[in-house]
């Protein structure tokens, strides 16, 4: 980890770190995390949660996703990038689920875009639509 991530660890930051390690694939908002941690043995202040999540995002330990039509964003813990498998996300407009998927066709398309001088953050790319469950419920 980089230097900022390893700076002075308070009990509150250690509590957040432990929660993140135990919930690697879970998406969460800062408010959800705040309320979850308030129930624990080491309460963590709202400002601490927001500031520390921002620090972890800057350090590349978390990914932040802005949800369509929402003022808030959600986070995903990725930890050590070496173990992070590249994938894309579909955010279901109906139920709010975030679905992970891979696509060789998208890889080719994004590579072509880059070759034409376009720059983007592939890891924060979110596709909007309906998941299989919501699509089958309509039929």
State residue 1's pLDDT score.
42
State residue 60's pLDDT score.
82
Closest CA to 63 of 52, 47, 78, 82: 78
Domain limits of the chain?
10-83, 85-138
Percentage of residues in the chain with pLDDT exceeding 70?
83
Q: Does domain 85-138 have CATH number 2.40.170.20?
A: no
Q: Which CATH number fits domain 10-83: 1.10.10.10, 3.40.50.150, 3.20.20.140, 3.40.1350.10?
A: 1.10.10.10
**pLDDT-derived band at 2, boundaries 50, 70, 90:** very low
For 49-87, what is each residue's pLDDT tens digit? 999 999 999 888 888 877 666 677 888 888 765 555 667
pTM equals 0.65
State residue 45's pLDDT score.
94
For 90-109, what is each residue's pLDDT tens digit? 888 888 777 878 888 888 88
Strand partners, 65: 74
Spatial neighbors of 92 by CB under 8 A, at least 6 apart, are: 98, 99, 129, 130, 131, 134
Ramachandran region, residue 68 (left: φ > 0; alpha: ψ -120 to 50; beta: rest): beta
**Beta-sheet strand order (sheet of 88-92):** 98-101, 88-92, 126-129
Strand partners, 128: 91
């Amino acid at each position: 980890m980089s230097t900022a991530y390893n700076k002075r660890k308070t009990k509150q930051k250690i509590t957040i770190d432990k929660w993140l390690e135990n919930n690697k694939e879970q998406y969460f908002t800062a408010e959800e995390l705040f309320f979850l941690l308030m129930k624990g043995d080491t309460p963590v202040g709202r400002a601490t949660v927001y500031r520390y999540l921002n620090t972890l995002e800057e350090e590349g330990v978390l990914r932040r996703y802005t949800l369509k039509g929402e003022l808030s964003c959600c986070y995903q813990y990725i930890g050590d990038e070496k173990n992070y498998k590249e994938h894309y996300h579909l955010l279901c407009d109906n139920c709010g689920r975030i679905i992970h998927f891979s696509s060789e066709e998208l890889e080719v398309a994004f590579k072509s875009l880059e070759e034409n001088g376009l720059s983007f953050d592939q890891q924060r790319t979110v596709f909007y639509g309906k998941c299989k469950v919501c699509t089958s419920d309509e039929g």
